[in-house]
């Protein structure tokens, strides 16, 4: 193992010890080190960092994010090796734009689930259908769904324990139909045996835990087969949009039923695993219908105050 890869292993271990996951950072930095090794370079330099950061096609924000990842790693190495060059802040600039949520309709979710039939085996079809269904009815992140163990499902009490960001866990109450669907998935006769020590709830055809990149690729095939098309360059159907759709539907239901919006928003924030309710507020902008209902309630409040 090269000194660069040793340094990367140490860097990741230190940051993960304080709660960071760094999956994307690990991928980026592994690619950057491979780039250096191909050129016979054993030291991080500003020129190589910038050249690697802008190498793939993409928007300026993506390039800036890649360089920022290298910059953090370089700063870590520079503390013990002054010869390591740290890219200055602001070398690459670009404001990343938040994607416009693609809010799924019931018909579109049904089409995605039906599209899983394109896969060659019944188990793979059932797995992708379970993934889509679980994301839709819980609003959890894909990484959280793939990180579930069989023991995280409490069938008796209808509760799912989710291991979220920053090492935090939360318990999600499930509808009985969701509990039944997960139970059927676990009891499937074609479910492959898992290797010793593997406890994953959702498994591949090898019985191992699913890999996010493979699931995303499979979703891309399902999306195309279901005929889902981007609504604009900034609004494309993604797996993460199942989470947005869940949040918007929850708030729409609260407005329509006359529930306490502040209280419902706080509950939704906890259910989604946000650190604070303010992180959930931006969902209000995701749906014109939701904005209209919010405006109507504001007008009624103003009228009552008068």
Q: What angle do CA 198, 193, 132 make, to 5 degrees?
A: 75
Locate 277 and state its tokens: 């309710």
Determine the 3-state secondary structure of 163 from DSSP.
strand
Under 8 Å between Cβ of 39 and 49: no
Residue 1: the pLDDT is 41
Which residue in the list 63, 66, 71, 141 is annotated as catalytic?
141
Per-position b or e across 153-176, b if 16+ CB within 10 A of its CB: beeeeeebebebeeeeeeebebee
- Both tokens of 134, joined, read 């679980």
* Catalytic annotation present for 39: no
Burial of 185 (0-12, 13-18, 19+ CB in 10 A): buried
- pLDDT at 62 (0 to 100): 85
**Catalytic-role residue among 11, 104, 185, 283:** 283
Residue 35 is a catalytic residue: no
Handedness of CA 144, 149, 150, 155 (dihedral sign): negative
pLDDT in tens, the chain (306 residues): 468 999 999 999 998 887 778 888 999 999 999 999 999 998 999 999 999 999 887 778 888 889 999 999 999 999 989 899 999 888 887 655 667 788 999 999 999 999 999 998 999 999 999 999 999 999 999 999 999 999 999 999 999 999 987 678 999 999 999 999 999 999 999 999 999 999 999 999 999 999 999 999 999 999 999 999 998 877 899 999 999 899 888 888 888 888 787 788 888 888 888 877 777 776 666 666 666 666 666 566 565 555
Tell me whether residue 165 is one of the annotated catalytic residues.
yes
Query: Annotated catalytic residue: which of 63, 209, 243, 244?
Result: 243
pTM as predicted: 0.69
Cα–chain-centroid distance for residue 268? 17
What pLDDT does 296 receive?
66
Contact 243, 140 (CB under 8 A): yes
Among the options 78, 124, 165, 191, which is catalytic? 165
Q: Active site includes 283?
A: yes
Q: Would residue 16 show up in a list of annotated catalytic residues for this protein?
A: no
> Which member of 240, 249, 255, 264 is catalytic?
240
Q: Is 240 a catalytic residue?
A: yes
């Amino acid at each position: 193992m090269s000194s660069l890869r040793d340094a990367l292993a140490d860097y990741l271990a230190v940051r993960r010890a304080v709660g960071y996951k760094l999956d994307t950072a690990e991928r980026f930095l592994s690619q950057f080190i491979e780039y250096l090794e191909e050129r016979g370079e054993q030291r991080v330099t500003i020129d190589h960092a910038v050249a690697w950061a802008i190498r793939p096609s993409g928007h300026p924000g993506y390039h800036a994010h890649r360089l920022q990842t290298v910059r953090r790693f370089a700063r870590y190495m520079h503390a013990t090796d002054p010869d390591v060059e740290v890219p200055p802040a602001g070398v690459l600039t670009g404001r990343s734009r938040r994607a416009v949520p693609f809010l799924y309709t019931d018909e579109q979710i049904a089409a995605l689930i039906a599209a899983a039939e394109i896969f060659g085996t019944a188990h793979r079809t059932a797995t992708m259908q379970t993934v889509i269904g679980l994301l839709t009815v819980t609003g959890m992140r894909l990484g959280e769904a793939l990180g579930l163990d069989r023991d995280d499902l409490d069938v008796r009490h209808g509760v799912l324990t989710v291991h979220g960001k920053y090492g935090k866990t939360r318990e999600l109450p499930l509808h009985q139909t969701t509990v039944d669907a997960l139970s059927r998935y676990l009891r499937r006769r074609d479910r492959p045996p898992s290797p010793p020590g593997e406890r994953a709830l959702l498994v591949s055809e090898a019985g191992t835990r699913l890999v996010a990149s493979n699931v995303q690729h499979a979703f891309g095939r399902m999306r195309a087969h279901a005929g889902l098309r981007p609504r604009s360059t900034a609004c494309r159907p993604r797996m993460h949009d199942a989470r947005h759709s869940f949040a918007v539907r929850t708030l729409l239901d609260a407005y329509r039923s006359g529930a306490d919006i502040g209280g419902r928003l706080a509950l939704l924030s906890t259910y989604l695993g946000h650190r604070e309710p303010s992180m959930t507020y931006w969902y209000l902008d995701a749906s014109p219908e939701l904005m209209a209902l919010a405006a109507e309630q504001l007008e009624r409040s103003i009228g009552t105050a008068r």
